[in-house]
Amino acid sequence: MIGSGTIHSTEDARRIARRRLPWMVFDYIDGAAGQETGAERNRTALDQMTLRPRILKDVSGRSLTASLFGQDVLRPFGIAPMGMCNLSGPGADLMLARLAARYKVPLGVSTMASTPMEKLIEVAEGHAWFQLYFSGDGTGTFKLVERAKSAGYETLVLTADVPELGRRPRELRHGFKMPFQLGVRQFIDFALHPRWSLATLLNGKPELANFLMDGYAFDRTESRAKATWQTLDQLRARWPGKLVVKGVLDVDDAIRLKASGVDAIQVSSHGARQLESAPAPFQMLPHIRESLGADYPVFYDSGVRSGEDVLKALLSGADFVFLGRILQFAIAAGGENGLNELWSVLSSELSTAMAQTGMTKLKDNNIL
C-alpha cells in the first residue's frame, strides 16, 4: 500500500506512476514539446545552481510559512493549474483541493479541469485561483470570467503561452484525444493497466467540467491565437480581483505586463510543453526579477522536482513556486496518501536544505 513510506523522492512517484498508468496517460502527463530538449535545458539550469552550505547557526526553529498577496501561506509552493487531472486517478482534483485547504496554498483550477470550478473552490475552502485560456473570439472566455467571479474566485490567472497547443510527439503518437477515442491500440493499453482502467470505468471517464455551460457550446480545438494586449486590457477592466499572467519568459513582456496593471507574473515554460527552444525559465527568472524590482510579485513554475529546487527558485527571485506534473504522479502512484506523502517529502527536503544553508525562515527573511 502506497502512503506508508514508499515515496522518498519525486522520482519514486514518477517510477510507480509509470507502471500504473496507461502509456497514453503517462506520456500525456510526462511528455514535453518536440524532442524534449527544453525540459533538459531547464533541468540542467536548475542542477547547475548550487546552494551555499553555512555552519554553526542555530537553525533549530524553522518555518516554511511564506506570504502571498499579503496572506500567510503554510508552504512557499502551491498547485499549478492542470487540465484533466482526474486522468491520474479518480477524484484527483478534489485531493488537490483538500491539500490546498490544509496548507492554505493556491489550487490552480484549470479552464480544462475535470471538476467544476464551483466545487473546487468550495473544497479548497477558498484557496483556489481560476486559470483562464483565451479562446476563439473571446465570447466563451468572458463567460468563464463571469462564472469564476460568481463562484467567488478572487484571483484569475491568464495563461498566455498557448497561442497554439504545443506539439508533443509522445502524446500525439498515442492518439491522445479528449474525449478518448478507443481504437485497438488504446484498448490494449487500457487492458494492460487494469487497476487504472477499472477505477476510471467505475468512476466515469473524466470530462471537461468547466465546458458544460448553459447557452454556450465550447470547442476545445478552437484556436487561442487571437489574444492581444487589448484583450489583456479588457480582462483587467472586467476583473476586479488579482490578475496573474502565467507563461512569461521575456523581460520586455514582463515590464509591459507590470505597466498594464497585472498584479503578478508567473515565469513558466508550461513545464516545457510549449516552445521547445524557449530559454530555460529558471535562467530567465533572475533577469525578470531584476527588471521588475524587488517588491513586484513574481511566481515560478516548471521543472521543480524537490525541496532544494524550490529553495533555488526562491533564492533566484521567486516569491512563490508552483508544482505541476509531480503531484499527478504522486496521485497515480498512491492516491491521496501518495499525494500527501510526496508533499511531506518536499516539505522535509526544503526544511532540511534551509537548515543546511543556515536559514530559519522564508517570510521576512532577507531572501523573500
Q: What does residue 63 show for φ and ψ, rounded to 5 degrees? A: -125, 135
Task: Provide the grid cell at 22.
Answer: 496507461
| Interacting span for ligand FNR (CB under 6 A) from 81-89, 116-124, 168-176, 189-197 | 81-89
249 in Cβ contact with 231 (< 8 Å): no
Binding mask 123-152 for ligand FNR (x = CB under 6 A): --------x---------------------
- Residues contacting 202, CB < 8 A, separation 6+: 90
Q: Which stretch binds ligand FNR (CB under 6 A): 52-60, 115-123, 283-291, 301-309?
A: 301-309
Contact between 308 and 53 under an 8 Å Cβ cutoff? The reply is no
Query: Rule CB under 6 A: is residue 268 a binding residue for ligand FNR?
Result: yes
Per-residue x/- track, 11-50, ligand FNR (CB under 6 A): ------------------x---------------------
CB closer to ligand FNR out of 81 and 317 = 81
Q: At what angle do helices 194-203 and 184-191 cross, to 10 degrees?
A: 100
CB of 124 to ligand FNR, least distance (A): 16
Comparing every residue's Cβ against ligand FNR, the nearest one is: 324
* Amino acid identity at 128: A
Query: Toward ligand FNR, which CB reaches closer, 25 or 66?
Result: 25
From 263, 301, 308, 349, residue interacting with ligand FNR (rule: CB under 6 A): 301
Q: What DSSP character marks residue 210?
A: G
265 binds ligand FNR (CB under 6 A): no
Shortest reach from residue 30's CB to ligand FNR, in Å: 8
Q: In the set 22, 38, 76, 81, which binds ligand FNR (CB under 6 A)?
A: 81
The distance of closest approach from Cβ of residue 53 to ligand FNR in the complex, given in angstroms and rounded to an integer, is: 26
Asked if 82 interacts with ligand FNR (CB under 6 A), we say yes
DSSP H helical segments within 21-59, as ranges? Answer: 23-30, 37-48
Q: CA dist 147 to 69, 94, 150, 210, 362, Å?
A: 23, 20, 5, 10, 35
Q: Does the protein bind ligand FNR through residue 83 (CB under 6 A)?
A: yes
Instruction: Using DSSP, state whether 361 is helix, strand or coil.
Output: strand
The closest alpha carbon to 247, from 336, 170, 324, 141, belongs to 324
Instruction: Check if the beta carbon of residue 242 is closer than 8 Å to that of residue 264.
Output: yes
Residues marked active site are found at: 270
Distance of CA 199 to CAs 19, 93, 196, 318, Å? 15, 15, 5, 38
Cell numbers describing residue 279: 530559454
Is 302 an interacting residue with respect to ligand FNR (CB under 6 A)?
A: yes
Q: How many residues bind ligand FNR (CB under 6 A)?
A: 20
Binding site for ligand FNR (CB under 6 A): 29, 80-83, 110, 112, 131, 159, 246, 268, 270-271, 301-304, 323-325
